A and B are shown apart, each in its own frame.
Chain A
Amino acid sequence: DQQVKQNSPSLSVQEGRISILNCDYTNSMFDYFLWYKKYPAEGPTFLISISSIKDKNEDGRFTVFLNKSAKHLSLHIVPSQPGDSAVYFCAASAPGNQFYFGTGTSLTVIP
């Protein structure tokens, strides 16, 4: 009954290349989505968000794309840097409701 799914537990990318992290959701009522980044022994920290009225939001090297019809969002990191190596969590919420998180994708950027 996982409402937010991150089907790739891990991803390895060469430094300088693009990292693409994917997230799927099942609840069509979700209208706000976030990505969090987590380093070992630290709590997750907010990275970027997007509301359902948009299909793209960009912040520096990070871009989130939302495909509502497919109930899919993705996080693009370009160019990838070794410091981007972390676990990335996708989260979604419906109006007035809690956030549902995915299981996370561990990104390794190889120098």
Chain B
Amino acid sequence: DAGVIQSPRHEVTEMGQEVTLRCKPISGHNSLFWYRQTMMRGLELLIYFNNNVPIDDSGMPEDRFSAKMPNASFSTLKIQPSEPRDSAVYFCASSLFAGVGEKLFFGSGTQLSVL
């Protein structure tokens, strides 16, 4: 079985450009999470979806960040306009459901560099 698939693996862009990160969760999983990894804060939850519906987006840094999940097999995280401080590794994860005891399965991440 394929795991969580993220694209692109690496993204280099210039400040002010729009960036779109993509994620395909594991088939049958009902919850999808977007995390950002930085040295200072570790893995921060940005937003998560249950059954394609955003449940908690309190971790989204600011209005420049938006996420969608149009169907059960696809999600995007968009940054517009991007800034150098957005440079980080962005992970998508999925689980059967968002509840106690449910393990998260992570994708390989997108390394974003904003110059």
B101/A101 in contact, CB under 8 A: no
Bound-state Cα–Cα, A98 to B107, Å: 18
Q: How many residues from B make CB contacts under 8 Å with A?
A: 25
Which B residues have a C-beta under 8 Å from some C-beta of A? 4, 33, 35, 39-45, 48, 56, 91, 93, 98-101, 103-109
Q: Which residues of B contact A111 (CB under 8 A)?
A: none
A2-B41 CB under 8 A given contacts A96-B99, A98-B98: yes
Bound-state Cα–Cα, A45 to B111, Å: 18
Question: Nearest Cβ distance between residue A102 and chain B, in whole angstroms?
Answer: 5
Bound-state Cα–Cα, A2 to B44, Å: 10
B91/A43 in contact, CB under 8 A: yes
Bound-state Cα–Cα, A6 to B43, Å: 12
Q: Which residue of B lies closest to A103 (CB)?
A: B42
Instruction: Given contact pairs A51-B101, A99-B104, A104-B42, enumerate 6 new A-B contacts (beta carbons under 8 Å).
Output: A42-B109, A96-B99, A98-B45, A101-B44, A103-B39, A104-B43
In this complex, the interface size class of chain A, counting residues with CB under 8 Å from chain B, is 20 to 34
Q: Which residues of A contact B106 (CB under 8 A)?
A: 36, 43-45
Which A residues have a C-beta under 8 Å from some C-beta of B? 2, 4, 6, 31-32, 34, 36, 41-46, 49, 51, 89, 91, 93, 95-96, 98-104
A103-B41 CB under 8 A given contacts A32-B100, A44-B106, A96-B99: yes
A89/B93 in contact, CB under 8 A: no
A43/B4 in contact, CB under 8 A: yes
> What are 27 of the A-B contact pairs (CB < 8 Å)?
A31-B100, A41-B109, A42-B109, A43-B93, A44-B43, A44-B91, A44-B106, A45-B106, A46-B104, A49-B101, A51-B100, A51-B101, A96-B99, A96-B100, A98-B33, A98-B45, A98-B48, A98-B56, A98-B98, A99-B104, A101-B35, A101-B44, A101-B45, A102-B42, A103-B39, A103-B41, A104-B43
